[in-house]
Amino acid sequence: MTSVEDWWASGQRVDVELDGARRAVFLRRTGSGPTVTLLHGFPSSSHDWAKVAPALAGRHALLMPDFLGFGASEKPTNHDYSLHEQADLVEAVWEMEGVTATAIVAHDYAVSVTQELLARRAEGTLAVDLVAIHLLNGGLYPDVHRPQPVQEALLDPEQGPQLSAALTEEALLAALRPTFAEGYDAAADSAAIWRALSRDGGHRILHLLIRYMKDRREHETRWIGALEATDVRLAFVWGMLDPVSGAHMAERIRERLPRAPFVALDDVGHWPPLEAPALVAEALLSA
């Protein structure tokens, strides 16, 4: 797999305007053909797609940004991070790149960003045509989502800042371990997540980034409504052993969206792009 450092070297930081401020956002581009925008999860970065991108790039132009506060993008402190702002970031990248139509592939955190983009499309305010949506292991239904203890602790007003201040690579790797399928060697992937997270001190703002879980609860009606009412083609690729959003979330999705294609990865945990990139690429290309 391409190292995080090589991934950064092959992309660039671009300036976008978010809420009246210029922000530096990392963007990796590769491939040619119809555009696909790949959006990453928490607490990682666009590097999550490094194992999947080569299989897609022969048929698609890929756009892979790091969200604000993640990876090689700017990481402002004392900032009110929100999923709405991350949706603004995606729209700003599309405008800058001249994108008029794109498919979206979204994992984890990014499924909620995608739901907000679907809501904007339903309102008629989205300038880009969404041709297809592929969703992987995310908290689409907050009442079914099962956050890890460390996520709950980060969300606590007192514990969160203390946990961010004290976080080490060893502690992060220990927290990530249960989210991968048992038997999968996650050492290299977890180390890459740490390098992306800790760049520019990003691990010190985790208690700010985790607020997305509050966003999900606050905007649950809007986002579930947008997902279930959309006429955009939806498809799901799901790691069923994920303790956070695995088989229990899959059951709800199949109940509420029974016509959407659903690829169940029975031996995969929370991280399909890392644990089973060939299966993910196959599912995306055949959807």
Q: What tens digit of pLDDT does each residue of 213-255 get?
A: 999 999 999 999 999 999 999 999 999 999 999 999 999 999 9
pLDDT digits (tens, 9 = 90+) for 28-85: 999 999 999 999 999 999 999 999 999 999 999 999 999 999 999 999 999 999 999 9
pLDDT of residue 205: 98
Flag whether the pTM goes above 0.85.
Answer: yes
The model's confidence at residue 287, banded by pLDDT at 50, 70 and 90, is confident
pLDDT of residue 146: 94
Domain boundaries, the chain: 4-286
Per-residue burial over 83-115, b = 16 or more CB atoms within 10 Å of its CB, e = otherwise:
bbbbbbbbbbbbeebebeebbbbbbbbbbbbbb
- Other beta carbons within 10 angstroms of residue 210's beta carbon come to 24
Residue 11, pLDDT > 80, answer yes
Sign of the alpha-carbon torsion through 30, 33, 36, 37:
positive
Quote the CA–CA distance of 191 and 286 in Å, as a whole number.
31
Structural class in CATH, domain 4-286: alpha beta
Alpha-carbon distances, residue 23 vs 20, 88, 110, 195 (angstroms): 9, 12, 19, 21
CB 81 within 8 A of CB 154: no
- Other beta carbons within 10 angstroms of residue 80's beta carbon come to 9
pLDDT digits (tens, 9 = 90+) for 142-182: 999 999 999 999 999 999 999 999 999 999 999 999 999 99
pLDDT of residue 1: 79
pLDDT of residue 128: 99
Quote the CA–CA distance of 263 and 261 in Å, as a whole number.
7
Alpha-carbon distances, residue 257 vs 140, 223, 236, 244, 271 (angstroms): 12, 14, 10, 20, 22
